C-alpha cells in the first residue's frame, strides 16, 4: 500500500492515525499541512478534504478524511495486529470509549472552536482556558470510570491489549497537559497513558518526533 498521511505535528486527530499506522506496521508518507499558517484552508487542500481539517489519508487515489474513519479503514485492510477486540459486545465498548473522546471531548476543544471563542465571542485567555478545562473534566470524569471497569491490567483502556480507545486516549491526555488541565482526579487514565507512552508505536507518533515539529 502506498499511503500518504496529511498531518500536522500538533494535531491530536492526526496523532491518532499516526499511532494506528505505526502499530499496524504500515509505511506512509507524511505530508505536512500547517494549521497555524492556515494551509488547511487553501484551495488545494480543500479539494482533497472539503472539511479543511487534518488528518486525511490518501490511498491509491482515494482520500479518506476523519481520523476514526481512517483507523477503521486501517483495521479493515490490515486486521492484524488488531485494534479491536473479538466479540461484538467488547468492540461496542471500545467504540463507545473512542467516541467519548473523539466525538464528545475533542470537537469542543479544537483549534477553530478556541479561535471562535476568542475572536468572535470576545473571551480572554482565562475564559478560553476555563472552557477547555471544563469539557476535559466532563469527558475524562466519565472515561475514568469506564476504563477502571474495563481495563484488565491498568495499562490499557480495555482488556489487556491496545485498542482504538488507547489510540485516542494518549493524544487527548497530551492536549490536556498542554492546557494545564488538572489530571489528578484520573489516576487510571494517567496510569494507562504512562504505560502506553513507552510503546514504540505511540512514542514514534508523538508530535515532537514528527518531521514538521517546531
Q: In what order do the strands lie in the sheet with 3-7?
A: 28-32, 3-7, 56-59, 62-65
The label of the residue with cell 482526579 reads: 185
Where in 77-106 is the site for ligand GSH (CB under 6 A)? 102
Q: Find the shortest distance in angstroms from Cβ 104 to ligand GSH.
A: 11
For residues 6 and 71, give the distance between their C-alpha atoms in angstroms, rounded to a whole number: 14
Where in 3-32 is the site for ligand GSH (CB under 6 A)? 11-13
Q: Determine if 173 is a binding residue for ligand GSH (CB under 6 A).
A: no
For residues 145 and 57, give the distance between their C-alpha atoms in angstroms, rounded to a whole number: 33
Residue 64: beta bridge partners? 57
Q: How many residues does the chain have?
A: 214
Distances (CA, A) of 189 to 7, 120, 166, 168, 171: 26, 34, 10, 12, 12
Comparing CB distances to ligand GSH, the nearer of 108 and 195 is: 108
Size of the site for ligand GSH (CB under 6 A): 15
Q: Find the shortest distance in angstroms from Cβ 67 to ligand GSH.
A: 3
Where in 28-57 is the site for ligand GSH (CB under 6 A)? 35, 40, 53-55
Comparing CB distances to ligand GSH, the nearer of 35 and 74 is: 35
Q: Phi and psi for 138 in degrees, rounded to 5? A: -55, -50
Q: Determine if 210 is a binding residue for ligand GSH (CB under 6 A).
A: no
Comparing CB distances to ligand GSH, the nearer of 53 and 136 is: 53
Q: Are 158 and 151 in contact (CB under 8 A)?
A: yes
Q: Determine if 67 is a binding residue for ligand GSH (CB under 6 A).
A: yes
Comparing CB distances to ligand GSH, the nearer of 50 and 160 is: 50
Q: Mask: binding to ligand GSH, 101-140, rule CB under 6 A, as x and -?
A: -x-------xxx----------------------------
For residues 58 and 54, give the distance between their C-alpha atoms in angstroms, rounded to a whole number: 12
Comparing CB distances to ligand GSH, the nearer of 111 and 137 is: 111
Per-position DSSP letters for 46-100, written without gaps between them:
HHH-TT--S-EEEETTEEEESHHHHHHHHHHH--SS-SS-SSHHHHHHHHHHHHI
Comparing CB distances to ligand GSH, the nearer of 35 and 188 is: 35
Binding footprint of ligand GSH on the chain (CB under 6 A) = 11-13, 35, 40, 53-55, 66-68, 102, 110-112
Amino acid at each position: 500500500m502506498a499511503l500518504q498521511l496529511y498531518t500536522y505535528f500538533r494535531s491530536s486527530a492526526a496523532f491518532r492515525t499516526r499511532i494506528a499506522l505505526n502499530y499496524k506496521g504500515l509505511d506512509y508518507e507524511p505530508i505536512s499541512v500547517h494549521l497555524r499558517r492556515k494551509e488547511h484552508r487553501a484551495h488545494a487542500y480543500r479539494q482533497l478534504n472539503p472539511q479543511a481539517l487534518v488528518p486525511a489519508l490518501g490511498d491509491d487515489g482515494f482520500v479518506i478524511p476523519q481520523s476514526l474513519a481512517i483507523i477503521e479503514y486501517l483495521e479493515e485492510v490490515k486486521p492484524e495486529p488488531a485494534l479491536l477486540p473479538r466479540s461484538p459486545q467488547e468492540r461496542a465498548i471500545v467504540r463507545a470509549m473512542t467516541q467519548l473522546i473523539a466525538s464528545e471531548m475533542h470537537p469542543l476543544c479544537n483549534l477553530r472552536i478556541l479561535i471562535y471563542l476568542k475572536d468572535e465571542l470576545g473571551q480572554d485567555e482565562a475564559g478560553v482556558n476555563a472552557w477547555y478545562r471544563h469539557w476535559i473534566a466532563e469527558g475524562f470524569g466519565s472515561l475514568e470510570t469506564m476504563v477502571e471497569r474495563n481495563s484488565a491490567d491498568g495499562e490499557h483502556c480495555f482488556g489487556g491489549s491496545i485498542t482504538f480507545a488507547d489510540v485516542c486516549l494518549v493524544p487527548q491526555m497530551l492536549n490536556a497537559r498542554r492546557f494545564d488541565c488538572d489530571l489528578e482526579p484520573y489516576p487510571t487514565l494517567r496510569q494507562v497513558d504512562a504505560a502506553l507512552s513507552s510503546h514504540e508505536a505511540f512514542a514514534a507518533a508523538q508530535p515532537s518526533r514528527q518531521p514538521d515539529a517546531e
